[in-house]
Chains A and B, each alone.
Chain A
Amino acid sequence: MKTREEIAQALAACGYIADADLATAVSLMQLLRRPLLLEGEAGVGKTEVAKALASVHATELIRLQCYEGLDQSSALYEWNYQRQLLAIQAHRGGDADTIEDQIFSEKYLLERPLLAAIRRDRPPVLLIDEIDRADDEFEAFLLELLSDFQVSIPELGTIAATCIPHVVLTSNGTRELSDALRRRCLYHYVDYPDVDREARIIMARIEAVSASLALQIARMVEGIRKEELRKVPGVAETLDWVAALVGLGVRDLHDAPETVHETLMCLLKTQEDRARVTREVAERLLGKVA
């Protein structure tokens, strides 16, 4: 088992700057074999955790994006009906049992993410993204899968897991998840990063940026997050903004207040927020950035 310092370093090597808490969560995931439930505002890097985890373990990332109306046939498995029909037509007149055995074999089974995740040779990272968008029924089904790690297909029998995947669930909190699912998982709340961590994230992600500029930007973004905004910018927006500034050749925020104000559209995504952060507000915030 790796210590959490090692895990934090390994994640950092993959471009994800984790705080100590998250590193603990990842080490617990391995120790207790529980899924990890990540909650937090949009754009704080929940999905990135799973991606980084996959590259730390040097394994595949299998992603299931949840949406309203997601059902078993698009999440777990489905029979390939077209091929089955073709096979029936091709073997017309043959022995019924033989045909049946043939068309309900693995060859005609379409793997969907959940089934794929438990049938790999080495444990993949299974990312169940935005679980709060799926329906209650799906959540209940998922709970069963996550505790037994086996799937029963009526025509084929029970398929047991060849490996236990590392499961990461994310939620934006648009719907309250069931207590049963929450209890089953380790819980981690992903907050907006503090200035230091955000600067390190910027430097890890965008190579062309200097340490001083990264720190300036992180401070500026922290100031903007404290304003009364409808949509608070996440880390993804910060990175967009950095890319824009670097692309426009900005080396120091104080040198180019005009550009700073004009590129704020990378951070502020609603008309009201744009109107609220006026030139004066932007300059005031810029003044606080050392």
Chain B
Amino acid sequence: MSCCGANPGFEELDEVSRLVAAKLAAFLKTLRDNGFPVGLAEGQDAAHLMTEGYAARPGLLRSAFKHLFSARKSDWDKFDGIFDAFWLGKRVRSRSITAGSARAANNPSLKSFQDASARQAASQSATDQIPSADDAPEGRSGEGRMEGASRAENLAETDFRKLADPEQIEQAHAAAAQLAKAMRTRLTRRDLARRRGYRLDLRRTIHNNISHGGVPIDLVRRQRKPKPLRLVILLDASGSMSSYTGVFLHFIHGVLDEFREAEAFLFHTRLAYVSGAMREKDAARALDRLSLLAQGAGGGTRIGESLQTFNRWHAARVIHSRTVVMIVSDGYETGDAALLGREMAALAKRCRRIAWLNPMMAWEGYAPEAAGIRAALPHVDLYAPANTLKSLTALEPYLARL
């Protein structure tokens, strides 16, 4: 009887551990769906912890798992919610489901993203644009057609705003991304060549010449490590910029792909940190993730407030002494222009240089008269148009030297 009693006991135990293992595996999957970097080793350690008696005390287990599975502050902050939802059945809306369904339901292609921002632009432009700018597109679009009629149209010199044909837009996007990649490669090479053989490395020279009895015959020169420039891009995604955002998003996507040290932010009425989304290899998926982040894009612009947020919460982390901050905006500030001036001054103190790209600069008769841009300009090192592929290329030499 006793042996019969023992057998089911073991089986029961087995059954329990199987259930626990299955539950744990499901939890790991939930974490992975929420973007936690969970590998096999972590899974094993988690199982180990559960057998060590942590499983009996949920509070302790949560704390232990939190340390084990989190890898950064954002994970750390959202872990408790996920844990409670999974193990304790509290009603916390699962992020994995939200993210999953959103992706499946609306997977906007590049074009539809464009369309969406254009639609929003149509409804918002009145609040954001100065009246004189409204006539300008009419006059200029004639020119655009004229260039087209010659059949020798050069995409490089066409204002992005005048690209209407989806195919052309596609081409411009690809070119912008390509340009970003090419810039990265050239910048690195230039850096290496300039600094080759910078100074003598005494230790290595002696070490390599031990075979000559220590007489330094083969000299070893030290090459200064090429220090990469860090690029921080702040892109204005407000209504007045809508005809340019599409191209710049692709440009940023290309830049982030190639520059290891690059960060991107998007702002309209508030600031969104988009580097994570933009690092996605596939451009369509990156923009998809972005559209979730940048809800409200295409509205008015509060550049000052966005910069304030940036200075307060992000600047210390993303800016160091070799950082170039690139602001892409038309400078139509709907908020307080004085605040913008103050925040620009604070930003200028922190970083190496500020480049302000204003696509409207190339418009005929445009003068930087909006209050926002006038407050900001004294702190800007480079103020350039960026309305064509050619003008984007022209930025390269500026980024090459530090």
Residues of A within 8 A of B (CB): 4, 20-21, 24-25, 28, 31-32, 34, 36, 39, 68-69, 73, 78-79, 81, 84-85, 88-89, 135-136, 173-174, 179, 182-183, 185-189, 228
Contacts and interface: CB of A to CB of B under 8 A. Distances in A.
Contact of A88 (B37, B75, B213, B312): B213
Interface stretch (B5-13, B16-24, B65-73, B187-195): B65-73
A189 B73 contact: yes
Interface stretch (B203-211, B240-248, B289-297): B203-211
B225 interface: yes
Given A183-B71, A186-B68, 15 more contacts: A20-B63, A21-B66, A28-B64, A32-B49, A84-B210, A85-B206, A88-B214, A89-B214, A136-B260, A173-B317, A174-B317, A179-B71, A182-B37, A183-B39, A183-B41
Given A21-B63, A174-B320, A187 B76 contact: yes
Contacts of B72: 39, 182, 187
B48 interface: yes
B315 to A, nearest CB: 9
Nearest to A188: B67
Interface in B32-68: 37-39, 41-42, 45, 48-49, 52, 60, 63-64, 66-68
A135 B225 contact: yes
Interface of B: 37-39, 41-42, 45, 48-49, 52, 60, 63-64, 66-68, 70-73, 75-76, 203, 206-207, 210, 213-214, 225, 227, 260, 312, 316-317, 320
A84 B39 CA distance: 46
Contacts of B63: 20-21, 24
B207 A81 contact: yes
A85 B210 contact: yes
A6 B76 CA distance: 25
Contact of A187 (B75, B213, B312): B75
A187 B260 CA distance: 24
Nearest to A175: B261
Nearest to B227: A68
A88 B210 CA distance: 9
A28 B68 contact: yes
22 contacts: A21-B66, A21-B67, A24-B63, A25-B67, A36-B67, A39-B72, A68-B227, A81-B206, A81-B210, A85-B210, A85-B214, A88-B210, A88-B214, A174-B317, A179-B37, A179-B71, A183-B39, A183-B71, A185-B71, A189-B70, A189-B76, A228-B312
A147 B29 CA distance: 25
Contacts of A79: 207
A156 to B, nearest CB: 15
Nearest to A25: B67
Contacts of B68: 28, 32, 34, 186
Nearest to A78: B203
A28 B63 CA distance: 10
Nearest to B311: A230
Contacts of B207: 79, 81
A24 B60 contact: yes
A28 B213 contact: no
Contact of A69 (B45, B214, B225): B225
A174 B227 CA distance: 15
A228 B73 CA distance: 21
The 5 closest A-B pairs by CB, nearest first: A182-B71, A24-B63, A187-B70, A186-B67, A189-B76
B73 A34 contact: no
Nearest to A229: B312
A35 to B, nearest CB: 11
B359 to A, nearest CB: 30
Contacts of A187: 67, 70-72, 75-76
A183 B70 CA distance: 8
Nearest to A81: B206
